[in-house]
Structure 1
């Protein structure tokens, strides 16, 4: 046999083996080619309290700037305010050149050109939308209108609403099968995930959720499985992506289970799940569902997305205002990038920037880079035990937004986040927020005001300390968690 032919055959075989073993990243199909990391790629994060979209270069793991969609509090309280509020959800077009950014507080989807970082259009939808994503053919954008009971279907060219798909109240997120045949819509208010035929927008199946609070859903690149998270009970469910759409597995993942996504690697396809209550990402095989790694990443991991070649996974750290980059070969964090306030959805978009040196329409972090971080721990904390509650004070200029990722409390009980006069939680108590824990003893708690000035005042006589106490604001009990030094 001709030696040159043998060499050509061998080279072709090696390439084919490499491609088939290491190709196709979510949300695309397994057959799609991998796209090596380059300066043309971008990692985008939707940041809820700075109302920004951060733009990061994954080669250098460097923040390039932010796209500012709105103003901080209290400016955005004005009835004449026109910007976006609570920038939260994110999807992108199949050609990788348009972002669809959902702002919960202003009921909008902002379409951004990734080549120029410029806003192309803003479409307003119903009350409190949560996530948006393009159909795989790029013709439609489906938006979960979580404050109501429908999916808003937007024409991707005109940016106008075409129709609505009625579903149970509170649709949380939708994602599509890689072949574009089905849309999978989980619910944040009802224990039901709906499967919709994309061709005719009809519900063809219903999958029971083990709880009513699903914030995130993803489909494997091979089109065989759908995974969705249940934030309130700390579980992740898996069902068959094809008829009969039967349940496959439920995994106890941990308190404040947030988002899930996949990386296809030489070792197989793995699910990466962000666990906000333990500040970890857990990694599972998709064939036998075994847990293969637990990765400490930082405070309150939320959104997650793989690079175009599956060699990295990026995680938004909601209470650390940062992106964590994970090397999927070692499952270790290799970079931590400061970004805007309280990142929610994350999207790694390969080849988003034809000109990698273009910085037009990007701004510096400004006040969004000013955040104070605190921790609360049980009053009788065991030696060496990690504090369970992280707190961020997001600077807004005149005031701050406080967010606490609370864990380690009794399930389904009433508590108060408060300021106490003494470090041990005693003295005069000033309630900031009342909340009830979920079935695993966790909660995300928010408050707004000049809190930093009170908590960090250098004058001992005026200083206050964050605490958590059981009961109601009118009659809180003794503090069970106190601010650590």
Structure 2
């Protein structure tokens, strides 16, 4: 496979225009409970909209503010940004010109993503913890009805004519096709995996592409026949995808979190892998600029956004963001003059530290991200491909007692967050080099013979 720069630069031909200073990029920052707002023309963070307190403050009784700011959607006129918080079951409507909250709606258990209908008259929010889509009036901010779906709807998007909606599921291996006028499911399309957190339409709306995070694949559905057109492999922890035209050819960009790359595929009947563009830690949300010259990638464990120049096929800049950015969207023409910082607050979080875990003997993999929380720190651990339904303990340095223990699921995966003083890892590269993280099977005192995963010495 050729490098990204060779494949894409040769295809690019003419130079691309730059994003406009009136455009904005937004990320939903799950751990800091913020919306980060960026100027793509200058490639800088303008500030943040704070919707709630950062972790671990949310562990105490919460009467105001949002938890786990996770999903993003927007109105067709780009005047309203919709932020979905799955911890506080809320949908926040934000005026993009002023960065001010216009209204808020509370829905059912653990909503995930939301989007406006093609005419902008309704906002549909998938309620992943249940089995329906909440329909909201964006003027009164009231829920007007619920549309039954397969359990665990993950995201919904509409055809431009406003006739059909496609809803993927996070728990059920199907895509629900909904008649917008009647609010009813008209077809259920079986797909390869029960976990599909994201979908995107081709620019001409001829196909819907959806990611399968659990098995590392992408499914293509023909929007005319409503049949699966194909499935292809993408990689470990496939998150979101975007499309961009480069040199007259439509390409697909897929974030593959477990490999820290954005993979570039052709969009012909049998997609070809054209390039793998290295990024920061755990790429998640992704969106293209309107002209296709840039791809913006949220780094879930990097607390930043990488900017890919599609002509060069590489990351050309990095913008600091809130903690654990999830969804990312690009909106054109939203700024209304001034410096664009009205209603925003400065970034309050420091950069995280990332540690890769590799198998000591045979199988398994994992990664750790350490974040400073002021007086304490958070150590987020993700483990994969270990023994199913088995307890593993995490040790820092030479400590005899674990800082936490996890039980893997049926697929051998586990994860969680530990809060406490872990300055050895949150304190920077030099401090981190003097310490080590070891994952051992069992809950007893540390035994080198039971080590399963470890960071580099």
Q: Does 1:286 align with 2:263?
A: no
Q: Does 1:376 align with 2:357?
A: yes
The aligned residue for residue 102 of structure 1 is 84
2:234 to 234, 253, 260: 253
* CA RMSD across the alignment: 2.8
Q: Does 1:450 align with 2:450?
A: no
Q: Does 1:401 align with 2:378?
A: yes
The range that moved more, 206-215 or 172-181, is 172-181
1:480 aligned counterpart, secondary structure? strand
Call closer, same or farther: CA 1:411–1:344 in 2, change over 3 Å. farther
Work out the CA distance in 2 between the residues paired with 1:211 and 1:96: 33
1:419 to 383, 392, 395: 395
Work out the CA distance in 2 between the residues paired with 1:473 and 1:52: 39
Shift of 1:44: 0.3
Work out the CA distance in 2 between the residues paired with 1:219 and 1:471: 46
The aligned residue for residue 315 of structure 1 is 297
CA contact 1:68–1:363 (8 Å) conserved in 2 = yes
**Gaps in structure 1 of 5+ consecutive residues:** 1-20, 23-33, 382-386
Shift of 1:265: 3.5
Aligned positions, number: 438
The aligned residue for residue 7 of structure 2 is none
Matches within 5 A, 1:308-347: 308-347=290-329
2:404 to 420, 423, 432: 432
Matches within 5 A, 1:104-183: 104-183=86-165
Call closer, same or farther: CA 1:356–1:369 in 2, change over 3 Å. farther
1:122 aligned counterpart, secondary structure? strand
**Gaps in structure 2 of 5+ consecutive residues:** 1-11
The aligned residue for residue 257 of structure 2 is 276
Work out the CA distance in 2 between the residues paired with 1:347 and 1:106: 22
Work out the CA distance in 2 between the residues paired with 1:120 and 1:456: 37
Work out the CA distance in 1 between the residues paired with 2:401 and 2:161: 57
1:165-198 CA distances to partner (integer Å, 9 max, x unpaired)? 0012111111122332211111111111101011
Shift of 1:136: 1.5
CA contact 2:281–2:354 (8 Å) conserved in 1 = no
Call closer, same or farther: CA 1:435–1:267 in 2, change over 3 Å. farther
The aligned residue for residue 284 of structure 2 is 302
Shift of 1:100: 0.3
CA contact 2:170–2:194 (8 Å) conserved in 1 = yes
The range that moved more, 286-295 or 114-123, is 286-295
Q: Does 1:484 align with 2:445?
A: no
Work out the CA distance in 1 between the residues paired with 2:256 and 2:456: 23
Shift of 1:449: 1.2
Work out the CA distance in 2 between the residues paired with 1:180 and 1:299: 37
Work out the CA distance in 2 between the residues paired with 1:343 and 1:253: 21
2:58 aligned counterpart, secondary structure? helix
TM-score normalised to structure 2 length: 0.88
The aligned residue for residue 24 of structure 2 is 42
1:82 to 60, 64, 69: 64
Shift of 1:416: 2.2
Work out the CA distance in 1 between the residues paired with 2:427 and 2:314: 38
CA contact 1:36–1:308 (8 Å) conserved in 2 = no
1:331-371 CA distances to partner (integer Å, 9 max, x unpaired)? 211111111111000001111112151311111112x2242
CA contact 1:143–1:152 (8 Å) conserved in 2 = yes
Larger of the two Rg values belongs to structure: 1
CA contact 1:49–1:401 (8 Å) conserved in 2 = no
Q: Does 1:469 align with 2:446?
A: no
1:82-116 CA distances to partner (integer Å, 9 max, x unpaired)? 01111100011111111000011110011111111
The aligned residue for residue 28 of structure 1 is none
Q: Does 1:207 align with 2:175?
A: no
2:39 to 46, 54, 57: 57
2:120 aligned counterpart, secondary structure? coil
TM-score normalised to structure 1 length: 0.84
